Structure 1
């Protein structure tokens, strides 16, 4: 009976997560005006594909792709950050047609942050300098506001996860941390010390996450020029491009922090085990001497 209840709870949770990911992916299509039928169909297919992956990953007893499934709230933070980015950028992109107080406040917030972060060699300056020369000033200001809001949400998410690491003692929640379940793509038996490999992979993820905001705009501009595709013509494409520009670094840095935390946990566990072995060995020596 207990096993049946656990399976039912897992399936219900997987179904709810699948529905939530559908809502997240369809957010720009639902909020932005002028969405074409082809664009809506494409967004629906992408949403269903992601929902299917989520359903199978969280519904199965052992995942194969999704990491930290049983170590919340790391995936929840990333999912909420993705939704807020898509929602906020869609509101800013549609503010020219909406004109509501809420859209004006969100746009003003993004623009203020964008102005504050528009300094030489900043990721936002790279976005601004790579805009076409004939872009409309209103469009340029809108893109700056969208980029500023995306950076703000990324920084808030990183600060929140770092705080949870420090204060919430993540991922210790009264139960053991299963490396195989939470890191299905990491093979502990591949060779070498597990702690060193986790520390190395964590640092590499953080380094890539730091440099990604500087590299992604250049790669996107080169790809758009080669494919002769204009990102600025479609509001949905622009929203997704800026979201990926910040969400990918966020995911990499959070993953790196989590892997470094797991490495420290394993190192501490080894130290406690070694201390226990030393104490037992000392006790055995004393007993032999007394005899």
Structure 2
């Protein structure tokens, strides 16, 4: 337990910095917003420290199957930092913000086509929205979406070619899937594959569904103002990152189901081999 504490504290500090990144990089952050961000950063740090300082299952999945959570952390961090620097460049221009805006503009030219997720996000803005805000939302959503797709592709490489999750040792379903009850009824293999398909479908549909849900909610409770930099950053980040995380989870659960099926097949073969040998000897 003592050996886990430094790592848990380091992860907690990194998580707090991740949550506070937009507020730290965007100039002229409102005092009320800064206080809310501080509370959220502390809550994220406490949750992370409790999860990683325990040897028993909590709420965080694939805790002992790197680099699943590390890949998600660095991708979300990259999205938040990139979008924050892009929006900071509107007030404090720099070479880095100019380069990011240029790269995001090129990605937007590729990803912004009719009925694409990026096009649907831009449609969220009202018709009288400022052209500068519309262009920034277009570039930010394209960059965030590209980074999220890259996260999924990197994870596929780890699964297909680098032997995840067994490359770092034996995989324990109990501690890595704490929210999955293997005794909940039905075949574990079927339930894992069912959950994998559900996550994959949601991951593919949510980038299209979230803008529609936001438009419906805006008609009921009022429009969401994306003119505020903090709102724009977190809205675009959630829209791009959450579906990609569901895709990763679906791929991971499909991989675990395949591992269980392969282990069952080998166990059945090993159990039947002595009987077959006995039958052969009797025939001789």
TM-score, structure 2 as length reference = 0.96
**2:33 paired with 1:39:** yes
Q: Which moved more, 1:18-27 or 1:110-119?
A: 110-119
Residue of structure 1 in register with 2:107 after alignment: 113
How many residue pairs align between the two structures? 284
Q: Which residue of 1 aligns with 2:136?
A: 142
CA distance 1:78–1:41, change in 2 (3 Å)? same
Selected match of 2:97 from 81, 98, 103 = 103
Give the deviation of 1:174 after TM superposition. Answer: 5.5
Structure 1: runs of 5+ lacking an equivalent: 1-6
- What is the distance in 2 between the residues matched to 1:116 and 1:39? 34
Q: Which moved more, 1:75-84 or 1:127-136?
A: 127-136
Q: Does 1:152 align with 2:134?
A: no
Secondary structure of 1:8's partner? Answer: coil
1:228 aligns with 2:222: yes
Secondary structure in 1 matching 2:91: helix
Q: Structure 2: state its 5+ residue gaps.
A: none
Cα distance, 1:119–1:263 mapped onto 2, change above 3 Å: same
5 Å-filtered alignment, 1:264-283, equals 264-283=258-277
Moved beyond 2 Å, runs of 4+: 220-231, 283-290
Residue 241 of structure 1 aligns with which residue? 235
Is contact 1:57–1:65 with CA below 8 Å preserved after alignment?
yes
Q: 1:288, CA displacement in angstroms?
A: 5.0
1:2-151 aligned at under 5 Å gives the runs 7-151=1-145
Name which of structure 1's ranges 26-35 and 126-135 shifts more when overlaid on structure 2.
126-135
Shift of the 149–174 alpha-carbon distance from structure 1 to 2, 3 Å rule, reads closer
CA deviation digits over 1:115-149, x for unaligned, max 9? Answer: 21111111011112221111111111111110110
Alignment of 1:180-199 (within 5 A): 180-199=174-193
Report the CA distance between 1:95 and its aligned residue: 1.5
Aligned in 2, Cα 1:155/1:174: closer, same or farther, shift over 3 Å?
closer
Q: Is the 8 A contact 2:65 2:168 kept in 1?
A: no
In structure 2, C-alpha distance between the alignment counterparts of 1:175 and 1:164, rounded to whole Å: 14
2:156 equivalent to 1:162: yes
Q: Distance in 2 between matches of 1:227 and 1:235?
A: 21
8 Å contact kept, 2:71–2:151: yes
